[in-house]
């Protein structure tokens, strides 16, 4: 089948074809009228109006089957009544108006979705896998954690992994909007969807292709594109009221004057493109603007909720802190050396996507320690992991978790650990081997983001952390937040969100699996990062793709502006259309004059809605 005849292509081309046919018939009929052939002109106008009417009726029936009824029915009535009364020119003008509006909406949506849909064409199909001492091209679906692959210059990274080469240069623009190349050092995580700009490098696969960053972003994009804003649904409800008022006014004008063309004039000027097009255009444009700044709003409803946020609740680790902890010290137990503890722990952590894992691998690399690929790794999310490193059995994570995996009677000696330090416990061959002390500094952009939130009208900012209360209070005091709660379980974060929602509209910002329930309960849940396997990204309404907290207040501003523009467009359009309907009912507008006036109103209102793409 030729490409242009495929169903998807036909749906995409239909607005262009329909608008072209309607305009051609309107102009062609006008030429015959100028040539003093009014009957031929009327026939051509009938064809243009009839073609659009058929498409309109099909769309209306499809909407009814989906349980929706909109103001498309007014356009269908005005064209149908015009053709029935022999007012073919008026019907043709309405047809051009409606088809042109559909074409303009199609253009606006195409423009507005560009930043989101650009991601969808970058999915890798194959990967170069090391197998049996040789490279083999395999489908990306075949990749498994712990596989080692080669990524060549110019290729898109097929799955999330850990860099095994000394360094790599990546283009992350499709993921974060960052236009400049980003250098990555050995041991750091490389997200799928990035493009290799420098020399080829080896990658240790951390997650399969379906669970990787890029796959998660694609799913979020598809969900965002399929959504409809509450404002758009509200517009449908207003449309039903508007339809009833239009029919009453048109019927009353016909009954009062005895002139059916006066009723037609009312129907013509009542075709409300502001409700049909302006609201969704403004909302989609706002989603696009946010995406271009690295903030992916998953649903149009979330964009509207984002515009009304009054309270922000932030997690600590990975949200207001850098999520790039550094190894401060290593305290080995008797019988173990510091480098031995770090080398074995970092080797095992190569298989983990936890933020602390990257710190251990970086520290081991900086000390030029030799790392070994781990085997039979088992990770208990949020608690720790275990596996074989060479012939050694290694377990690391929280001290309670590690001790539960060791021989009876084993214990750690906690000395010189201050209140602001995070600890990774390490066990080797059933013995307590040592503690690795980490610090997680406040993000450089956190204070900028907090100030921007307050400038944007956010009344209250609260920290909710699973860390010890003293650690959370120290971070909160640095940023000057309004309240802080530490030692919170996932259930505790949920209860905090529930309390804050009684006082305002709450946005929760987090990045961990334990944040997912709170993100789901909040009015707007924001996940830091878009890793496909993270429950936080699945539960969130908004995903921050760019590693820049200050983009969240910017997204709130974009949401407010888009919401205001949508309301302005709808209200202004309905007021102007209502005034024109009254004039038509009183006999001051003919059907043709009404159609031309409504065309001017619709174009003005839709162009106003397109302002959401800018600024």
- Residues with catalytic roles: 315
Tell me which H or E stretch contains 288.
helix 279-292
Query: What is the spatial distance between Cα 236 and Cα 51, in angstroms, rounded to a whole number?
Result: 25
3-state secondary structure of 526: strand
The three-state DSSP-derived secondary structure of 73-126 is HHHHHHHHHHHHCCCHHHHHHHHHHHHHHHHHHHHHHHHHCHHHHHHHHHCCCE
Handedness of CA 114, 115, 120, 123 (dihedral sign): positive
Question: Which residue from 150, 259, 285, 277 is spatially nearest to 204, judged by alpha carbons?
Answer: 150
What is the distance of C-alpha 66 from the center of its chain?
25
H-helix segments, 325-367 = 338-349, 355-366
Q: How many CB atoms lie within 10 A of CB 408?
A: 6
Query: What is the spatial distance between Cα 76 and Cα 341, in angstroms, rounded to a whole number?
Result: 76
DSSP conformation class of 6: S
User: 472-477 contacts: CB < 8 A, separation 24 or more?
Assistant: 472/316, 474/419, 474/420, 475/316, 475/320, 475/321, 475/442
DSSP letters, 177-217, are ---S-EEEETT-EE-TT-EE-SS-EEEEE-S-GGGSHHHHH
Q: How many residues does the chain have?
A: 615
DSSP conformation class of 443: P
DSSP letters, 143-181, are --TT-EEEE-TTPBP-S-EEE-SSEEEEE-HHHH---S-
Which tokens go with 59?
């769309």
Backbone angles phi, psi at 373, to 5 degrees: -70, 125
Query: What is the spatial distance between Cα 298 and Cα 389, in angstroms, rounded to a whole number?
Result: 41
What are the angstrom distances between the C-alpha of 389 and each of 375, 404, 424, 428, 437? 6, 19, 17, 10, 21
Residue indicated by tokens 């709003």: 297
């Amino acid at each position: 089948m030729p490409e242009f005849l495929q169903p998807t292509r036909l749906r995409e081309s239909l607005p262009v074809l329909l608008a072209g046919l309607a305009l051609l018939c309107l102009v062609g009929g006008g030429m015959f009228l100028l040539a003093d052939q009014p009957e031929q002109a009327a026939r051509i106008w009938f064809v243009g109006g009839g073609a659009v009417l058929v498409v309109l009726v099909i769309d209306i029936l499809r909407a009814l089957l989906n349980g929706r009824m909109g103001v498309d029915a007014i356009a269908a009535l005005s064209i149908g009544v015009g053709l029935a009364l022999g007012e073919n020119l008026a019907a043709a003008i309405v047809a051009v108006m409606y088809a042109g509006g559909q074409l303009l909406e199609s253009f606006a949506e195409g423009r507005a979705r560009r930043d989101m849909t650009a991601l969808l064409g970058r999915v890798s199909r194959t990967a170069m896998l090391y197998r049996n001492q040789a490279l083999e091209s395999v489908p990306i679906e075949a990749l498994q954690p712990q596989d080692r692959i080669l990524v060549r210059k110019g290729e898109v990274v097929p799955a999330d992994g850990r860099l095994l080469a000394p360094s790599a240069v990546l283009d992350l623009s499709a993921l974060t909007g960052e236009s400049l190349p980003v250098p990555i050092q050995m041991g750091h995580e490389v997200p799928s969807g990035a493009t290799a700009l420098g020399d080829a490098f080896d990658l240790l696969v951390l997650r399969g292709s379906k669970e990787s960053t890029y796959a998660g972003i694609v799913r979020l994009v598809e969900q965002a594109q399929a959504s409809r804003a509450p404002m758009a649904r509200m517009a449908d409800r207003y449309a039903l009221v508007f339809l009833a008022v239009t029919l009453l006014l048109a019927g009353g004008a016909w009954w009062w004057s005895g002139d059916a063309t006066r009723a037609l004039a009312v129907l013509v000027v009542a075709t409300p493109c502001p409700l049909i097009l302006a609201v969704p255009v403004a909302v989609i444009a706002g989603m696009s603007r946010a995406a271009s700044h690295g903030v992916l709003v998953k649903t149009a409803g979330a964009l509207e909720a984002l515009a009304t946020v009054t309270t922000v609740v932030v997690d600590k680790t990975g949200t207001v802190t850098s999520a790039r902890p550094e190894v401060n010290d290593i305290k080995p137990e008797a019988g173990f050396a510091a480098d031995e503890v770090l080398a074995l722990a970092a080797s095992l952590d190569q298989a983990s996507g936890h933020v602390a894992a990257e710190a251990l691998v970086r520290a081991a690399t900086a000390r030029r320690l030799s790392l070994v690929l781990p085997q039979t790794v088992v990770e208990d999310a949020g608690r720790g992991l275990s596996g074989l490193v060479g012939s050694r059995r290694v377990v690391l994570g929280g001290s309670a978790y590690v001790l539960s995996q060791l021989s009876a009677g084993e214990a750690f000696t906690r000395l010189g650990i201050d209140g602001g330090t995070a600890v990774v416990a390490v066990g080797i061959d059933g013995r307590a081997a040592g503690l690795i002390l980490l610090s997680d500094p406040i993000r450089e952009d956190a204070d900028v983001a907090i100030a921007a939130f307050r400038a944007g009208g956010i009344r209250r900012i609260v920290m909710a952390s699973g860390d010890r209360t003293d650690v959370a209070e120290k971070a909160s005091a640095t940023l000057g937040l309004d309240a802080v709660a530490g030692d919170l379980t996932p259930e505790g974060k949920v209860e905090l969100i529930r309390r804050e929602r009684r006082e305002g509209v709450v946005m929760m910002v987090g990045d961990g699996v334990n944040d997912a329930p709170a993100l789901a309960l909040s009015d707007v849940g924001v996940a830091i990062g878009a890793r496909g396997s993270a429950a936080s990204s699945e539960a969130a309404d908004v995903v921050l793709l760019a590693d820049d907290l200050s983009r969240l207040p910017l997204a709130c501003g974009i949401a407010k502006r888009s919401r205001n523009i949508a309301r302005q467009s709808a209200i202004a359009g309905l007021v102007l259309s209502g005034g024109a309907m009254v004039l038509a009912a009183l006999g001051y507008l003919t059907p043709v004059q009404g159609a031309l006036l409504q065309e001017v109103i619709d174009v003005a209102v839709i162009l106003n809605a397109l302002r959401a793409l800018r600024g």
